[in-house]
Amino acid sequence: MNTDRELLQLAAKAAGFYVKGEVVNQDDEFIGLRVKPGISAPRVTIAFWNPLTDDGDAFRLAVKLGMAVSVCLGMPCESFTAILGSGFDSEKHKDDPYAATRRAIVRAAAEIGLETP
């Protein structure tokens, strides 16, 4: 799992979404997935989905998968986000704790997606 696209594909699989396609911007850069709740869901349920960039998508993904998210800011710990009980260690915050938390959620979901048939 090296690219954001691969992470999102696996996270969508873990969440039980059917991936209808990809969304790219005018410069042909990948910006997210088109998903729906399941393959038999009506066409009108297709939505743009990117929990790497959207707080709401990340929150819904964490809740759907029953994740316990632990955010540590400042001293005495180094700033990181960990998904408890997932075998996933942490994502360092650097300058943006929100982006790091979203990425930690997606990475943990992708790990679940790897194990999902």
* Beta pairing partners, 69: 83
All structural domains of the chain, each given as residue ranges with its CATH number in brackets, are 4-115 (3.30.2120)
The pLDDT, as a whole number, for residue 46 is: 61
Q: Specify the DSSP class assigned to residue 27.
A: T
Task: Write phi, then psi, for 99 (nearest 5 degrees).
Answer: -65, -40
SS3 state of residue 54 = coil
Residue % of the chain over a pLDDT of 90? 32
Pairing of strands 18-24, 91-92: unpaired
Between these two residues, 83 and 50, which has the higher pLDDT value? 50
Output the pTM of the full model: 0.83
